Amino acid sequence: MSGPVGDRLEAGFFARDPRTVAAELIGCALFRDGVGGRIVETEAYAEYDPACHAHVGRTDRSEVLFGPPGRAYVYLSYGIHQLFNVVTEPDGTAAAVLIRALEPLCGLERMRARRGPRRPDRELCAGPGRLTQALGIGAATNQADLATGVVGLYGRAASEAPDLEVGPRIGITKAADWPWRWWERDSPWVSR
């Protein structure tokens, strides 16, 4: 590989514990149709985790979380915001990683057009609802195969080792104290 973006990530990368995947995704990249950036903040969700949508078992919505790794789980939050997750763990075990913030790399003009002309670049992708709007990710991406579709994740150079920080997840009421959020220390691009 060359440059800041490495090889496209495939099922094997995602078929692991969501906490491991969440930590290793920091510094990787998320793109849709040439627009995207470097992942700087993630959260993990697991089947035995009360905050996870799969905790209630298999439903129409949660079914994808139980399916093969490397698929997208996109859902509508608060009736307004689309949130983008990657399904992890092998087929049959439910888990996911929520992508919470990106450092914009490509397609800044298209991001600004989608997010509004007066918005500071700092706020383009700093938040899970914001980054899906900036990249144009919506319900059509739910259940998509991220190894082959228009939305894809890409590895980081072996030389790049992000300075990781861990803390509690944001915006949840159940299991709110579990330290299952990862971000890049001192990054100006994280949420909040």
Q: Please report, as ranges, the residues that interact with DNA according to CB under 7 A.
A: 43, 45, 51-53, 56, 59-62, 73, 75-81, 83, 85, 96, 98, 115, 119, 123, 127-130, 169-174, 191
Please state the closest distance from residue 158 (CB atom) to DNA, in A. 29
CB nearer to DNA: pick between 27 and 191: 191
> Based on CB atoms, which residue is closest to DNA, 34 or 57?
57
Residue whose CB is less far from DNA, 60 or 177? 60
CB of 71 to DNA, least distance (A): 13
| Minimum CB–partner distance for residue 55 and DNA (Å) | 9
Whole-number minimum distance, CB 109 to DNA, in Å? 17
Which residue number, 6 or 17, has a Cβ lying nearer to DNA? 17
Shortest distance (Å) from residue 43 CB to DNA? 6
Each residue of 120-148: b (16+ CB within 10 Å) or e? eeeebbbbbbbbbbbbbbeeebbebebbe
Closer residue to DNA, CB minimum distance, 77 or 148? 77
Can you give the three-state secondary structure of the chain, one letter per residue? Answer: CCCCCCCECCHHHHCCCHHHHHHHHCCCEEEECCEEEEEEEEEEEECCCCCCHHHHCCCCCCHHHHCCCCEEEEEEECCCEEEEEEECCCCCCCEEEEEEEEEEEECHHHHHHHHCCCCCHHHCCECHHHHHHHHCCCHHHCCCECCCCCEEEECCCCCCCCCEEEECCCCCCCCCCCCCEEEECCCCCCCC
Query: Toward DNA, which CB reaches closer, 32 or 169?
Result: 169
Q: How far is the CB of 132 from DNA (least distance, A)?
A: 8
